[in-house]
Amino acid sequence: MLDIQLIRQDTEHVRAALAMRGTEFNLDEILNIDKQRRALLQETESLKANRNAVSKNIGHMDNNEDRSRLVAEMRKVGDQISQLDQQVRDIESKLYDLMLEIPNIPDSDTPEGATDDDNITIKEVGKERDFDFVPKPHWDLGVDLGIIDFERGVKLSGSRFYVLNKAGARLQRALINFMLDLHTGQGYSECYLPFMVKQINFTTAGQLPKFADNIYHDVEDDAWFVTTAEVPLTNLHRDEILDADTLPLYYTAYTPCFRREKVTAGKEVRGIKRGHQFDKVEMYALTHPDESYSTLEKMLADAEETCNKLELRYRIRRLCTGDLGFGSRITYDIEVWAPGCNEWLEVSSISNCGDFQSRRANTRFRPAKGAKTKYLHTLNGSGLGLPRTLIAILENNQQPDGTITIPEVLRPWMSGEENIG
């Protein structure tokens, strides 16, 4: 959530920054409601101050008639205050709902642009493998090896579900364990989180109200299936005040992720690239505002190490303003090359959200003893998303005989086996 003072004091800057995202927001309506709210608060505080002053005098009055008259007047003032308090609550609720609709403003280092074509490639690591045969896509490799079963996945759950079998299931588990062990070694604290959380968690993380149609949930029990571990991790310290010397806090967590993601059929959804359920290992940080950009670079390097250890060809792209996530100020995407699909696949987005999420979560820190509290900064990133990482491993490590060479770093979790098939 943006700071209302920022909107109030630097309206045109905020308006221009939001316009770079390619959408317009009615800041004038927000400012008008804010003005009404402040006027009501001022009127309410004035009445309360007057009531307090009169109440003190009443206790020292000897004239019963005058005392009774003032008591009656103060009852009326009390009724006015109650009505004004309710008006304040109503208008603050309306203002809050409008503020929830506004995305974060882009950082000055975020390139201006409208679509994926405007994203900037920062660097590319690794060389494309020179195949002496035509590489197969994973949807053929997996079926041929008996490790991906699309038909039974659809039978069990419908379109865009699949079953991983035998070495496919083991490879998925190996990736999860490898990533968690790697990130804990990088300084992250591992969490095992609920896969269903209450609605407030999504609002705090910035996924509600905007992405309500993308989230599976049970209305009766207020149980919402996580779309990413970022959602519960953002809420771990909701409504808490942290000591500055505890920062930064780094967390990593594995969760399955559940998303409706209504897309048209075709190349985009073939295979396991985009499903309603997928696994992901998340990295998350809460930092002092002065350290959030160095933390962003650390998290990017940590995600890169995952790719390097898996010996995957990858590239890093800085997202443009029109391609930013709702809560992000600046984002790096990591994409891996999939030769069978013949395309780059995004496996991680590392984002600095500034104080956008912490304002929603009311997560603060105290810089020093007795000092005024401040909102901390939050950052998140995948380390990595599993399906597309699995795709890249299968397609880049396929052999002419149809077998798959298992990356050396994963073999300890595969009973030392070197190949699939």
CATH at residue 120: 3.30.930.10
Secondary structure string (H, E, C) spanning the chain = CCCHHHHHHCHHHHHHHHHCCCCCCCHHHHHHHHHHHHHHHHHHHHHHHHHHHHHHHHCCCCCHHHHHHHHHHHHHHHHHHHHHHHHHHHHHHHHHHHHHCCCCCCCCCCCCCCCHHHCEEEEEECCCCCCCCCCCCHHHHHHHHCCEEHHHHHHHHCCCCCEECHHHHHHHHHHHHHHHHHHHHCCCEEECCCCEECHHHHHHHCCCCCCHHHCCEECCCCEEECCCCHHHHHHCCCCCEEEHHHCCEEEEEEEEEECCCCCCCCHHHCCCCCCCEEEEEEEEEEECHHHHHHHHHHHHHHHHHHHHHCCCCEEEEECCHHHCCCCCCEEEEEEEEECCCCEEEEEEEEEECCCHHHHHHCCEEECCCCCCCEECEEEEEEEEEHHHHHHHHHHHCECCCCCEECCHHHHHHHCCCCEEC
Does a structural domain hold residue 410?
A: yes
Same-domain check for residues 16 and 84:
yes
Same-domain check for residues 126 and 174:
yes
Same-domain check for residues 85 and 180:
no
Last residue of a domain, one of 65, 100, 135: 100
Same-domain check for residues 203 and 295:
yes
Q: Which domain holds residue 299?
A: 116-420
Cα(393)–Cα(357) distance, rounded to whole angstroms?
A: 34
pLDDT confidence of residue 59: 63
Same-domain check for residues 328 and 196:
yes
CATH at residue 67: 1.10.287.40
Does a structural domain hold residue 139?
A: yes
Domain count, the chain: 2
pLDDT confidence of residue 263: 65
User: Are residues 110 and 321 in contact, defined by beta-carbon separation less than 8 angstroms?
Assistant: yes
pLDDT confidence of residue 290: 97
- One digit per residue, the tens of pLDDT, for the chain of length 421 reads 999 999 999 999 999 999 999 988 899 999 999 999 999 999 998 888 887 777 776 666 666 666 677 777 778 888 888 899 999 999 999 999 999 999 999 999 999 999 999 999 999 999 999 999 999 999 999 999 999 999 999 999 999 999 999 999 999 999 999 999 999 999 999 999 999 999 999 999 999 999 999 999 998 999 999 999 999 999 999 999 999 999 999 999 999 999 997 765 555 678 999 999 999 999 999 999 999 999 999 999 999 999 999 999 999 999 999 999 999 999 999 999 999 999 999 999 999 999 999 999 999 999 999 999 999 999 999 999 999 999 999 999 999 999 999 999 999 999 999 999 9
Does a structural domain hold residue 105?
A: no
Same-domain check for residues 244 and 374:
yes
Does a structural domain hold residue 109?
A: no
Helix 166-185 vs helix 386-396: crossing angle, to nearest 10: 110
Does a structural domain hold residue 106?
A: no
Last residue of a domain, one of 46, 75, 100: 100
Last residue of a domain, one of 67, 100, 133: 100
Does a structural domain hold residue 225?
A: yes
Same-domain check for residues 76 and 133:
no
